Amino acid sequence: MSLRNKKSRSALLLLPAAGAALFSAALRELYCYSFTRSGSPLLNRLRGKRKTHEEAYYAWRDSMKKKLLAAPQIRMSIVSDRGERLAGFYLPCEGSDGSRIAFVVHGYGSDHAETAGMVLDYWHSRGFDVFAPDNTAHGESEGEIIGFDLFESADALKWIDYLKARAGKDVQIVLHGFSLGGASVMKMSDRLGPEVKFIVEDSGFAEAESLLKASPLFRTLKCLHGMLTGSDLADTDVRPNLSRASVPILFIQGTDDPTVPSENAPMLYDFYRGPKDKLILPGVRHIEGPYAAPEEYAAKIDEMIGKYLQ
């Protein structure tokens, strides 16, 4: 056999190993990008370039975040069932007796201040204290892997127990979740006590799988996620929980949502058999309601307060 043929054969033998290494590297980067706090060194730049709102929205949101960070607040912490220390932030309303709390749950890739800042003035103006945690793998909380409503809903239930112990049995809580946070408050809807008077779910998804299927190698990523976390992405579906729930829910979404398909809120509203209302905002993008339609947004939540709080 000639030297050239020997080199060609050796190169062919290396191809399967090279292909396996390339597949493994691609899988690792895609998993980290989709499911972890730190993301992917190779793909993180895509996140920075992906703008789903106009610049004016980002400027408003960031100004509201700065306002929240400057407001008087109490830092709290609990430990999740996974052993992670989670951070929460309590922002009392002036003159409040602590009996009314708006519990704001942020979404994927966000944090407590970025999200709760958008509605802090609203809730304080209605006499509610605001509590906002950093979800696992976000902000000041520990954890590396994002649960897509499974971890987040379990953690929020622990936070409710913490708030009840702190404020007393007569506390009245409203859950206000955005995006992944909206899915999280729906996911926990069948496990709530009477202290939770109603839920506001803004732009939450029915289940995470359909959002993640756009990723190449989705089936493999799903399997890997299951092995690493002991959970199944199929269990992110909130409909089994809604079918067992009876808490009043306000479903909110914009018709121009580029992140969570805009049919989610109408579909979930039709599916739900408990007390309910909806606010569909024409021309509004993902979680933009407090910015793009503040009067309609406030009026609809005011209706819920009038109906369901003492």
* Residue 42 in this model has a pLDDT that exceeds 90: no
Average the pLDDT over 249-258 and give the result.
98
Model confidence over 269-289: pLDDT tens digits? 999 999 999 999 999 999 999
Domain boundaries, the chain: 1-50, 53-308
Tokens of 184: 């999280």
Model confidence over 291-307: pLDDT tens digits? 999 999 999 999 999 99
Average the pLDDT over 22-34 and give the result.
81
3-state secondary structure of 303: helix
Per-residue confidence (pLDDT) for residue 4, from 0 to 100:
45
Per-residue confidence (pLDDT) for residue 51, from 0 to 100:
81
Alpha-carbon separation of residue 292 from 102, 117, 144, 281, 296 (angstroms)? 21, 15, 33, 9, 9
Per-residue confidence (pLDDT) for residue 18, from 0 to 100:
55
Kindly state the percentage of the chain with pLDDT values over 90.
Answer: 79
Per-residue confidence (pLDDT) for residue 141, from 0 to 100:
98
Task: Kindly report the average pLDDT of the chain as a whole number.
Answer: 91
Higher pLDDT, 20 or 309: 309
Where do the DSSP E strands lie in the chain?
Answer: 74-79, 85-91, 100-105, 129-133, 172-178, 196-202, 249-254, 276-281
* Residue 183 in this model has a pLDDT that exceeds 90: yes
Look up residue 179 and give its amino acid. S
Model confidence over 70-93: pLDDT tens digits? 999 999 999 999 999 999 999 999
* Residue 171 in this model has a pLDDT that exceeds 80: yes
Q: What is the DSSP letter of 216?
A: T
* Residue 101 in this model has a pLDDT that exceeds 90: yes
Per-residue confidence (pLDDT) for residue 20, from 0 to 100:
64
* Residue 230 in this model has a pLDDT that exceeds 80: yes
pLDDT band at 47 (very low <50, low <70, confident <90, very high): low
Per-residue confidence (pLDDT) for residue 6, from 0 to 100:
46
pLDDT band at 169 (very low <50, low <70, confident <90, very high): confident
Residue showing tokens 């996974």: 82
Cβ count near 58 (within 10 Å): 13
What's the angle, vertex CA 208, arms to CA 203 and CA 214, rounded to 5?
105
* Residue 10 in this model has a pLDDT that exceeds 60: no
Higher pLDDT, 67 or 22: 67
Alpha-carbon separation of residue 236 from 207, 231, 232, 303 (angstroms)? 5, 9, 8, 30
Model confidence over 192-213: pLDDT tens digits? 999 999 999 999 999 999 888 8
Per-residue confidence (pLDDT) for residue 77, from 0 to 100:
98
Task: Tell me the CATH class for 53-308.
Answer: alpha beta
Tokens of 288: 């933009």
Per-residue confidence (pLDDT) for residue 28, from 0 to 100:
84
Per-residue confidence (pLDDT) for residue 220, from 0 to 100:
87
Tokens of 264: 């989610």
Per-residue confidence (pLDDT) for residue 8, from 0 to 100:
44
